[in-house]
Amino acid sequence: MKSIFYSLLIGALPLIFSGCSQKTLHLYTLNSASVAPRVAPQFETLRVDYPQGIENGMSDRIYFRRNDLSQSYYSQSQWSHTLNRILMANFLETLQRSGIARHVIDYASQADADYELESTIYRFEQIVKDKHSYAEISIALRLLRSDTKKLIAQKTFTARVPCPTTDARGFVEAANEAMKRLGSDMVRWLARQ
C-alpha cells in the first residue's frame, strides 16, 4: 500500500512543480476608438469589411523586426484575438463613435449598405534598432459604392510611433497611440468623401 502511495506521489511531483516553473502568457489588445472625432453623417449605412493582411502578421502573434530585417515574435506575449479581429472591432467602434454614418455594420451583417469600407494591413509590427524601438503601422482603405462596387476613394495611412520600451508591452502602447492617430485620420478622410 505504501509503495502505491509513494509511486503516485513521485509521479505527481513533476505535475505539481511544472505549474510553478511556467512563464505567464501576456495577452494584449488595442483600445484606440475612444478618441474618434465627431463628424456629421456622410453615409446612411456603411459596411466595414474584414481587414485583410498582406504579410503573416494577422495571427495572434506580436511581431517585431530587427535591423538585419530578421522577423520574429514574442513567445510570452500575444494578441487576445487575431489581429484582424482586433482591428475590425476598433474600426467599427471608431466609426460608430464618430457618427460618420447613421448605421455602421460589420461584414457579417445581412443588412443592405450604401457603401463598403475595405482595408488591407500592409504592416503592423515593432521595429527594434539597438536600444530603441517604434511601432510601424500601414493600412490601406478603400471606399466603394456597394451596389456597383465602384471605387470612390482610396488612401494608405501610415504611422510610426516610438515605443516607451523595447518589449511587447511597449509596442502595444505605441500601437495604441498610432491607431488613435490613424482612426482620427480615417474619420476625417471619410468625412471629405
DSSP-assigned states of every residue in 100-136: SEEEEEETT--S--SEEEEEEEEEEEEEEETTEEEEE
For 52-72, give the DSSP string.
Answer: EESSSTTSSEEEEEETT--EE
Q: Is 21 helix (H, G, I), strand (E, B) or coil?
A: helix
CA distance 186 to 193: 11
pLDDT tens-digit map of 49-84: 999 998 666 899 999 998 777 889 999 999 999 999
Question: Which CATH class name applies to 23-191?
Answer: alpha beta
End-to-end CA separation in angstroms for the chain: 81
The per-residue pLDDT for range 88-133, each reduced to its tens digit, is 999 999 999 999 999 999 999 999 999 999 999 999 999 999 889 9
pLDDT over 90 (residue 19)? no
Looking at the DSSP bridge assignments, the partners of residue 144 are 116, 151
Question: Could you give the CA distance from residue 164 to residue 174 in angstroms, rounded to a whole number?
Answer: 7
The x, y and z cell numbers of residue 102, run together, are 447613421
At residue 52, φ and ψ (nearest 5 deg) are: -105, 150
